Amino acid sequence: MVETAGVRHRPRVEGGREEEILAATVALVAELGYDRLTMDAVATAAKASKATLYRRWTSKAELVVDAISRAKGCPMPENVDTGSLRGDLISLACGAGGFTDEMPMSVMAGLLTALQHDAELQNAFRERFLAPRLGLVATIYQRAVDRGEVSPDIDVELLANTLPAVIIHHAFLLGVEPTDDLILRVIDNVILPAARGSQAS
């Protein structure tokens, strides 16, 4: 490992091989789920040696979280600014990397069970995958607060978690596919009325 300013970095895989390994990992998580995925399976799918994987990633959890955080199949949603909370939420939820994007949702399905019992995966997932996305959502809601779209008496943190909670409940508990129509219904019938709070009366 290389050490820079007290931080230890594992060597990267040369050329485009690292992207191929990350893409193969994302595809296998979506297909097999985290618990059934193995480093051997990734090595086979990516046509790489298992030694190559372990030189770059110390564990399956590290590899998987790196893959879902960086691979093209699970893009980080863009920091859109449409000028309204409704427009921002639609762009975020219905665009690349959003709830209607098949690959990220398939990957999420593959991770859900493991996230309940694998502490290493849970910590890495929260730090590397979830935190940047929560930060983006917080920015969108803060802009809405600054524009006066969100009532001062609203619990903004709770409100910001409502759309993903409803969509994930529909997708993984009720078996209802996330569609643009479902997302619009949640935004228009739940999020925006809740955001206005007492101002709506």
pLDDT per residue rounded down to tens, the chain (201 residues): 444 444 345 666 665 789 999 999 999 999 999 999 999 999 999 999 999 999 999 999 999 999 999 888 888 888 889 999 999 999 999 988 889 988 889 999 999 999 999 999 999 999 999 999 999 999 999 999 999 999 989 999 999 999 999 999 999 999 999 999 999 999 999 999 999 986 654
Q: Quick check: pTM over 0.85?
A: no
Q: CA torsion, points 103, 92, 170, 150, in degrees to nearest 10? A: 160
pLDDT for 7 equals: 36
* Residue labelled with tokens 């007492």: 198
Comparing CA positions, the residue from 165, 156, 168, 151 lying closest to residue 105 is 168
Please work out, in degrees rounded to the nearest 5, the angle formed at the alpha carbon of residue 99 by the alpha carbons of 165 and 153: 40
- From residue 122, alpha-carbon distances to 110, 118, 131, 139, 164 in Å are 13, 6, 12, 24, 18
pLDDT for 181 equals: 97
pLDDT for 6 equals: 43
